[in-house]
Structure 1
Amino acid sequence: MKWAVLLATLVVAASAEVYLKETFDDSWADRWVKSKWKQSDGQAGDFKLSAGKWYGDAEADKGIQTGPDSKFFASYAPLDKVFDNTGKDTVLQFSVKHEQDLDCGGGYIKLVPASSEKQMESFGGETPYSIMFGPDICGYSTRKIHVILTYKGKNYLIKKDLKAETDQLSHVYTLVIKPDNTYKVYVDLKEVASGSLFEDWDMLPPKTIKDPKAKKPEDWDEREEIPDPEDKKPEGWDDIPATIADKTAKKPEDWDEEEDGTWEPPMIPNPEYKGEWKQKMIKNPDFKGIWVAPDIENPEYKHDDTLYNFKDLKYVGFELWQVKSGSIFDNIMVTDDFETAKAFAEETWGKSKDAEKEMMEKVKKEEDAKKAPPPAAAAASEEGEDDDDEYDDKEEPAATGSVEIPKDEEVKEEAAHDEL
């Protein structure tokens, strides 16, 4: 039995095809092209090879890192060959480490079709793509994983809210799209979402719509309650005044009627006043509910079993805007087999993640220690505070003038990382 399982595994592995496997070694720039997008106006940043400040392996964990701050970043590489996913799974996987504690910017990747080839020299936000996948972070309102699919020239965002990782460690993002029009999203090889392309995107119009010609019948009663016709207003109800004169009030001793006029006691709320009379409400025996137009088949709906299908995937690329740069992208794989991508992630990210976390904690601890004052300075500071006690009662001179504290520069989120 074990041999049968092993044989089946080898058969699956042998049948898998890898269209791109990128680990970013010293020759990465020979394979990747920097886009001319945003270069002419000085808004384009660069990618450089780096393992960052913390890592599990100084060489193996090198990736391409964004820099400097507040720039656009665009670079791409061709797949080993054009990927026609007809009848195949589509697996897109990469890792990203927001070492800088990203506050606003994209961290996603794109698969671009061969039909965009003439636009790739200036690959950017307007270049048509097929799949956009990965984290997007801006403040506390935007911390999500994008899964955007292109269908008939339009981009459609997944309707589910998928949470992105926001710490400063490397995380692996994996998207699987299957020819039965289902999908799965993994973060660190753990499934975080799955479902149907038909249900979780609005690529197709709804199968049914409300009949636009239907009209509510004239005798349709939508009142859930009605005034009780048996309930009558008690006699004398309207004769009870809302306020009455305060009988306990007494005219002030210094009241002069010639100068002040005739004294009248103040008015107070009448305890017998019950307010405006209203009939009590009862259930309406003729209530039919809120009228809703009946559903009819949508004449614009046409079923399509090829939502998953991209026949000419040719490039993989990053097109980003980041306020605070420093994200490191690594270990990209495009394949038609999830198990192959999983094994790649385990061999790369999986082997480094624990050591990376340990190193990050060590680096942060050392940085915190450098920020803290040395023991001698701290002791001197405390001693100085004691020496000042004898002057506590002395009057300090008043401060003159003012110091204006500059406001933080307003950061405007660019539309570059929400392209629908």
Structure 2
Amino acid sequence: MALLSRKLYLLGALLVLVSAAGVVQADNDEGDDEATVEVVEEDEKYHSPQINPEKVYLAEHFDDEAAFKKKWVKSEAKKQGVDENIAKYDGKWEIQTPSRKIFKDDFGLVLTTEAKHAAISTLLDKPFEFKDKPFVVQYEVTMQEGQNCGGAYIKLLSRGTNTKADLRKFYDQTPYTIMFGPDKCGNDNKLHFIFRHKNPKNGTIEEKHSKKPTQRLDDIYKDKEPHLYTLIVRPDNTFSILVDNKEVNAGSLLEDFTPPVNPPEEIDDPNDKKPEDWDEREKVVDPSATKPEDWDETAPAQIVDPNAVKPDGWLDDEPETIPDPEAVKPSDWDEEMDGEWEAPLVDNPACAAAPGCGGWLPPTIPNPNYKGIWRAPLIANPNYKGKWTPRRIPNPDYYKDEQPFRMTPIHAVGFELWSMSPALLFDNLIITDDVAVAEEWAQITFMQKRAKISRDSDSVFDRAIKFAGDNPWVYAVVIVVCFVIVGLITYVCCGSKSESESDPKKTDAVGEDDPHASDGEDELQDEPERARKADLEGPEHEPVEVETVSSTDDSAPLVDTEGAGDGQRKRKPRKE
């Protein structure tokens, strides 16, 4: 029975796996509304992604090192306001395969150094003008050794950075239009979207920072996996930020940035001062109140309980603790150095059964006559004027920009970073004005990469569990199906009885309703011993004489029970 239970358990577990895997496969076959990812066979050679150049402003896969060296420019500038030893942008950039190799010929741009300023940039194939089409920038980041402190963001450089000579001077103060991407130091992690807004009234530039993402993004800094970052800024002044094709932040350029794009119409008058006689006190001490004559400020807060009585059996002469009688002075005790030795104190055993030891003192209780120091009560202030605030005046710097999307044109793109973790890898950078183009680029780059990672790392069971975690209803379906199937198998294996068990007439066993149960009782009791002797003697020995049971019918023939052969006892059939 135990073996059967184990078999049923293993069968049930197998059914769980098969059912979950079937649900996962069925879900994958449905397709829904999501784009289908073409799975690349493991033995298929990787090909660098290609896309129509007319649809993009830049598409960089970093697979061609020779082309990369011609196009990208490392900064030769120095960072201002820092120590001379670390001011130079001397961080190293190299084209390398990922440390976790995914495809044979897939490369990325790797920042190989740590604790150094590093900057590299390239010109766009054509400038991006913020007119009637959305701006889309998308790229991959793999923090191959995690990230403790440092950024992995990208800067979209403003008009004015138009030549390679300008790129060699790229540093932290180089004007940019948009900064976008992850940044972390300690427990503070961010996903930046900053745009520099030009004041239409006086031409000054001010950075506008987006609100924080709606989801926690801690894992992207420590899982060492590739992640895809996408920013979409639309002509209707809305924006979306996606991580791995899932939206994590969205909003309006007009409403979801700090400081806001448009200043308030009114401001506090900086020249307005609070009058000296302005009374903001809501309540004041009652000037007419006087202390009552019977108010005793000297009465103590606690007094001795006059009703307290010393408990019977209190041991006044016994101390609460005594020197430990079993303590022995250590052999290395030096009285000149350590002083006179004294045994440590222990609880007095004589006090264990008594209500208390030592001098008894009655407890204290709150003094019913205690009133404390007298203070005059508070009353409403008759001169109260409320909380003072300066008067409001029209904001002399007010403007209303209804199209903050019309940003400074972008002419170049670059990474200007400081990182305490080496081996930051960047890949598959694209800038376009068509969201569909960015999605297509992601399908032939990032999604293929993630699919390969999934195939290499996930078993069928892992995928089933992951799918069930995203779809809790799967657990209920699998459990119900398994219970039904296991129940049917249990019924088939254990539910039916053998023919001999189901029909008592087809056996020699004595039933309760057998009227002749006592006729051969003595004979049946001796039968096992005789059968054992017959087995020992065997056909090669002399036949064993067997005493038969007498019957009133001597003429009845002997019957061979259970098909017994030589050496087996024969008996007459019972009378009916």
> Match for residue 133 of structure 1?
180
> Match for residue 121 of structure 1?
168
Instruction: State the 1:131 CA deviation.
Output: 1.2
Aligned mates of 2:273, 2:144 — CA distance in 1: 59
Aligned mates of 2:275, 2:78 — CA distance in 1: 60
Aligned mates of 2:301, 2:183 — CA distance in 1: 64
Instruction: State the 1:134 CA deviation.
Output: 0.5
**Given that residues 96 and 328 in structure 1 are in contact (C-alpha distance below 8 angstroms), is that contact kept between their aligned partners in structure 2?**
yes
Instruction: State the 1:215 CA deviation.
Output: 5.1
Distance 1:247 1:19, change over 3 A: closer
In the alignment, does 2:150 pair up with 1:105? Answer: yes
In the alignment, does 2:78 pair up with 1:22? Answer: no
In the alignment, does 2:242 pair up with 1:186? Answer: yes
> Match for residue 92 of structure 1?
137
In the alignment, does 2:191 pair up with 1:145? Answer: yes
Aligned mates of 1:311, 1:127 — CA distance in 2: 14
CA deviation digits over 1:363-405, x for unaligned, max 9? xxxxxxxxxxxxxxxxxxxxxxxxxxxxxxxxxxxxxxxxxxx
Higher strand share: 1
> Match for residue 253 of structure 2?
197
**Given that residues 37 and 44 in structure 1 are in contact (C-alpha distance below 8 angstroms), is that contact kept between their aligned partners in structure 2?**
no
Amino acid in structure 1 at the alignment position of 2:69: A
> Match for residue 82 of structure 1?
127
**Given that residues 56 and 354 in structure 1 are in contact (C-alpha distance below 8 angstroms), is that contact kept between their aligned partners in structure 2?**
no
TM-score of the superposed pair, with normalisation by structure 2: 0.51
**Given that residues 169 and 356 in structure 1 are in contact (C-alpha distance below 8 angstroms), is that contact kept between their aligned partners in structure 2?**
no
**Given that residues 297 and 373 in structure 2 are in contact (C-alpha distance below 8 angstroms), is that contact kept between their aligned partners in structure 1?**
no
Distance 1:326 1:230, change over 3 A: same
Distance 1:184 1:282, change over 3 A: farther
Distance 1:246 1:351, change over 3 A: same
Aligned mates of 1:355, 1:131 — CA distance in 2: 33
Gaps of 5+ in 2: 1-50, 199-203, 307-363, 460-576
**Given that residues 267 and 393 in structure 2 are in contact (C-alpha distance below 8 angstroms), is that contact kept between their aligned partners in structure 1?**
yes
CA deviation digits over 1:139-168, x for unaligned, max 9? 113x10122212346351415234553232
> Match for residue 574 of structure 2?
none
Amino acid in structure 2 at the alignment position of 1:146: H
Instruction: State the 1:32 CA deviation.
Output: 1.4
> Match for residue 172 of structure 1?
228
In the alignment, does 2:212 pair up with 1:158? Answer: no
Gaps of 5+ in 1: 1-12, 249-266, 363-420
> Match for residue 52 of structure 1?
98
> Match for residue 328 of structure 1?
425
Instruction: State the 1:330 CA deviation.
Output: 0.9
Which shows bigger deviation, 220-229 or 203-212? 220-229
> Match for residue 319 of structure 1?
416
Q: Secondary structure at the match of 1:68?
A: coil
Q: Secondary structure at the match of 1:316?
A: strand
In the alignment, does 2:89 pair up with 1:31? Answer: no
Distance 1:357 1:283, change over 3 A: farther
Identity %: 37
Amino acid in structure 1 at the alignment position of 2:143: H
In the alignment, does 2:268 pair up with 1:210? Answer: yes
Distance 1:227 1:360, change over 3 A: farther
Q: How many residues align?
A: 335
CA deviation digits over 1:196-250, x for unaligned, max 9? 22331324433321233545577865334445678754332245344799799xx
Amino acid in structure 1 at the alignment position of 2:405: Y
1:259-270 to structure 2, matched below 5 A, reads none
**Relative contact order (C-alpha < 8 Å, sep 6+): which is higher?**
1
**Given that residues 99 and 168 in structure 1 are in contact (C-alpha distance below 8 angstroms), is that contact kept between their aligned partners in structure 2?**
yes
Aligned mates of 1:287, 1:345 — CA distance in 2: 66
**Given that residues 55 and 355 in structure 1 are in contact (C-alpha distance below 8 angstroms), is that contact kept between their aligned partners in structure 2?**
no
Aligned mates of 1:293, 1:359 — CA distance in 2: 67
Distance 1:245 1:19, change over 3 A: closer
1:214-229 to structure 2, matched below 5 A, reads 214=272, 222-227=280-285
CA deviation digits over 1:27-47, x for unaligned, max 9? 333321222235996761222
* Max Rg structure: 2
Aligned mates of 1:32, 1:223 — CA distance in 2: 67
Aligned mates of 1:274, 1:239 — CA distance in 2: 6
Aligned mates of 1:357, 1:294 — CA distance in 2: 63
**Given that residues 54 and 359 in structure 1 are in contact (C-alpha distance below 8 angstroms), is that contact kept between their aligned partners in structure 2?**
no
Q: Secondary structure at the match of 1:324?
A: coil
Amino acid in structure 2 at the alignment position of 1:124: Y
Aligned mates of 1:244, 1:130 — CA distance in 2: 73
Q: Secondary structure at the match of 1:340?
A: helix
Amino acid in structure 2 at the alignment position of 1:273: Y
Aligned mates of 1:135, 1:240 — CA distance in 2: 68
**Given that residues 157 and 178 in structure 2 are in contact (C-alpha distance below 8 angstroms), is that contact kept between their aligned partners in structure 1?**
yes
**Given that residues 70 and 321 in structure 1 are in contact (C-alpha distance below 8 angstroms), is that contact kept between their aligned partners in structure 2?**
yes
